[in-house]
Structures are given as C-alpha cells and as structure tokens.
Structure 1
Amino acid sequence: MAVTVTEAAAQRVANFLENRGKGLGLRLGVRTSGCSGMAYVLEFVDELQEGDEVFEYFDIKVIVDAKSLIYLEGTELDFTKEGLNEGFKFNNPNVSSECGCGESFHV
C-alpha cells in the first residue's frame, strides 16, 4: 500500500510550492500530540532524508518518513472546501478513534 493524493490536494500543494518558489514536495508525517495521541504534520521538503518514502501523484511528491509510514499506510490526502472552510482532509484507514475537536487521532 501507499499514501495517495487526490487531484484537488495535488493542485493545492502545487499552488503552495509555486508561491514558495522552491521545494521537492510535501512531507506528511505524524507526531505525538493532542488528547487522542497523534496529530498529522504537513511541511515542505527541500531535501530528502535517509529512509524517506516518496509517493508521486499528479506531478506532486508526498514524502513520508519510515516512522510515520506505519501510521499512514493507505492514507489518502484530500483537499476540501465546505462553505467558508477549506483544508486538507486525511482519509486514514488505520484510525480507530479521533478526538472531538478533530486535532488528533489514535491508531
């Protein structure tokens, strides 16, 4: 399995990278945080690190470190707009529960 990206998410990332003027892609990771245990981390990548896995969709690279990949395997990164709210959405089949505020999850 892999981490996948929808076309809407890829277009949003491409816009961010274009405005930024540099970058190999977007790092998707997890860190310990929140009331449910883990939170998603998104950051630009200028240089690959040892152990990084690279997934490419719609000409956008998503980079995941080996430690995060076990929690993100099979995740789809999407970008949604609902009314005035817009943002990235993580469709992660590994999640067993999420906190009420939506900031963290548990596997």
Structure 2
Amino acid sequence: MFAIPGKVPVTITPAAERQIARLMTGKDAFGLRIGLKKGGCAGMEYTMELAKTAEKADEVVEQGDARVLIAPMAQMFLFGTEIDYETGLVESGFRFRNPNVTDSCGCGESVRFEPLEGSRTSDG
C-alpha cells in the first residue's frame, strides 16, 4: 500500500459509515471494495462492489461497523480521499472528495489524475 505511517489511506464520514454498514449487513458482505477503472469522458471512473472477502493485496480500512477495501491498483490514487454519503431530493449516493484529482467531467462521473512520474502516456 502507498502509505504514510500513522495516517489512514481514506477517511469515512459518519453518513458513509452508516450507509456502508447498512449495505454490508443487508448483503452479508465483508466490506465495500472501491477501485478505479478506465472510462468516462475524463478518463477514470470509481468502482464500488460489495465483497464477501478481502483480497490479499487489498488495503482494509475499518471504522465502526463499516469496512472499506481498497483495490491494489487504486491505492495510490485514492490516498487522502474522503468518502461521504449524501442524501438529496433527487439523488443520493457516495461522494469521493479526492485531493489527487486534477480534472473531472461536467457530470461528475469520471475523473483524471496527473500521470505518474516515469509512466508512459499515449503522447510519448
């Protein structure tokens, strides 16, 4: 895991903690796995799935009755992210406040990150 000693990789708001715990209990899941995949107009989309078990390389964050599993390929991109759950009149859902995002699409469904130092891009 990409980590800083003494600092949790992601934080979970009380609203997100309640919703994650509710989902876990309702589906008898071990936790909520979050990750990233290529897609959307900005390049990357968050993924979420209920998981029956943790994978060997998952980073596990526990808070109260909630458990978040961070997929290995997403760990460095999600470090420092706050996970929230917002309830509105029209729409409710998880929100990711990620300090690593450099751009996002207008609808808020996809994000972009700076290329990692030393990584190859399609431009070069």
Matched, 1:97 2:103: yes
Q: Which amino acid is 1:9 matched to?
A: A
Task: Give unpaired runs (5+ residues) of structure 2.
Answer: 1-6, 114-124
| Counterpart position of 1:83 | 89
Q: Percent identity of the aligned residues?
A: 38
| Counterpart position of 1:106 | 112
- Length-normalised TM-score, structure 2: 0.81
Could you tell me which of 65, 80, 90 is aligned with 1:74? 80
Task: Give unpaired runs (5+ residues) of structure 1.
Answer: none
| Counterpart position of 2:4 | none
Matched, 1:61 2:67: yes
| Counterpart position of 2:120 | none
Displacement of 1:84: 2.9
Tell me, in whole angstroms, the C-alpha distance in 1 between the residues paired with 2:65 and 2:23: 14
Computed over aligned residues only, the root mean square deviation of the Cα atoms, in angstroms, reads 1.1
Q: Which amino acid is 1:6 matched to?
A: T
Tell me, in whole angstroms, the C-alpha distance in 2 between the residues paired with 1:45 and 1:86: 22
Could you tell me which of 12, 20, 34 is aligned with 1:13? 20
| Runs of 4+ residues deviating >3 angstroms | none
Tell me, in whole angstroms, the C-alpha distance in 1 between the residues paired with 2:87 and 2:104: 21
Could you tell me which of 5, 27, 35 is aligned with 1:29? 35
Q: For CA contacts below 8 A with separation 6 or more, give which structure has more relative contact order.
A: 1
The CA deviation string for residues 21-64 of structure 1, in whole angstroms up to 9 with x for no partner, is x1111001111111111000010111111211101112211001
| Counterpart position of 1:47 | 53
